[in-house]
C-alpha cells in the first residue's frame, strides 16, 4: 500500500511542474539549441528606421533636392518645401510612400527614392561581461563581436550556453549558443558558422559553473 504522504507530495510536485510549464508557455518563449538557423548566419537588414540612421532621398522630379540626412533624436527629418516629417518607426517602403504622397501637390513627378545609407542598430548585453548595457553599431556584427564590444567576459564568464533572446514572428525565441569553438577559431557542431545579431536582440552571458 502506498504511503498517502508520499502520494500527496508527488501530486504537489506534479502540480507545481505543470504550473511552471504553463507559465513558460504563456510567456511565448521558445528555446532553440543549435545548429544555428541559416538566416542567423548572414547579416540581416534593418526592418524599421530609427534615430541615427542616414537616409538618402533621390527626387526624380527635382534632382537639385537630392540629399542625405540623419534621422534626428526626435525621429524626424526636415524635407524641402514640406518641412518636418517623422521617419523613425517606418519601414523604408512606408516612409517612401508617405514622402511621395507629401510631394504630389509640389512636384509634377512626385517619385522619391528613399534608401538607407547607414543604419544604426542596438542590442543589449547582460550577465558576466565587463561592460553590460546597450551596444550601438552601424555594421553587421556577430554575437562574439558584440560580447567583445561589451568588454569581453569577466573572470567568471563563460562562452558556453550564451543565451540570445530575439523577437521572431511575435514570439520571443531563446537561442542557446556555444561560442567556445568560435573563440578558438574553429567551427564545430552544433555551430555551423557565425551568428549575426539583429536590432533589439538581448544577449545574456552566463557565469562559469566553477
- Mean pLDDT along residues 118-122: 81
Which pLDDT tens digit goes with each residue over 55-77? 999 999 999 999 999 999 999 99
Cis, peptide link before residue 163, omega less than 30° from 0:
no
pLDDT of residue 182: 79
pTM beyond 0.85, yes or no: no
Stated length of the chain = 210
- Smallest CA-to-CA distance from 84 within 97, 104, 99 is with 99
Domains of the chain: 34-45+120-205 (3.10.560.10), 54-118 (3.30.1950.10)
| 121-127/112-118 β-pairing | unpaired
Main-chain phi, psi angles of 111, to 5 degrees: -65, 125
pLDDT one-digit tens code per residue, 91-104:
888 999 999 999 99
Q: 48-62, 95-109, 177-191: lowest mean pLDDT where?
A: 177-191
pLDDT score of 5: 47
Where does the chain have alpha helices with state H?
A: 4-26, 92-102, 143-149, 180-184
- Beta partners for 114? 57
SS3 of residue 58 by DSSP: strand
Q: Residues 35, 39, 42, 45: what is their CA dihedral angle, to the nearest 10 degrees?
A: -150
Higher pLDDT, 43 or 143: 143
Q: Would you call 195 helix, strand, or coil by DSSP? A: coil
Cell of 5: 504522504
Q: What is the pLDDT of residue 52?
A: 86
Banded model confidence at residue 169, pLDDT cuts 50, 70, 90: confident
Amino acid at each position: 500500500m502506498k504511503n498517502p504522504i508520499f502520494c500527496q507530495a508527488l501530486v504537489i510536485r506534479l502540480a507545481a511542474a505543470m504550473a511552471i510549464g504553463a507559465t513558460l508557455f504563456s510567456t511565448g518563449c521558445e528555446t532553440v539549441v543549435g545548429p544555428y538557423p541559416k538566416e542567423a548566419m548572414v547579416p540581416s537588414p534593418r526592418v524599421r528606421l530609427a534615430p541615427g540612421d542616414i537616409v538618402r532621398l533621390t527626387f526624380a522630379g527635382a534632382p537639385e533636392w537630392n540629399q542625405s540626412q540623419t534621422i534626428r533624436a526626435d525621429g524626424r527629418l526636415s524635407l524641402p518645401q514640406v518641412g518636418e516629417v517623422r521617419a523613425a518607426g517606418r519601414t523604408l517602403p512606408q516612409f517612401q510612400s508617405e514622402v511621395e504622397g507629401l510631394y504630389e501637390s509640389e512636384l509634377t513627378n512626385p517619385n522619391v527614392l528613399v534608401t538607407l545609407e547607414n543604419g544604426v542598430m542596438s542590442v543589449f548585453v547582460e550577465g558576466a561581461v565587463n561592460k553590460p548595457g546597450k551596444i550601438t553599431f552601424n555594421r553587421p556584427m556577430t554575437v562574439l563581436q558584440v560580447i567583445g564590444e561589451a568588454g569581453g567576459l569577466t573572470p567568471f564568464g563563460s562562452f558556453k550556453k550564451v543565451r540570445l533572446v530575439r523577437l521572431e514572428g511575435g514570439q520571443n525565441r531563446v537561442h542557446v549558443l556555444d561560442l567556445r569553438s568560435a573563440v578558438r577559431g574553429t567551427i564545430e557542431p552544433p555551430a555551423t558558422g557565425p551568428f549575426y545579431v539583429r536590432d533589439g536582440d538581448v544577449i545574456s552571458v552566463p557565469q562559469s559553473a566553477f
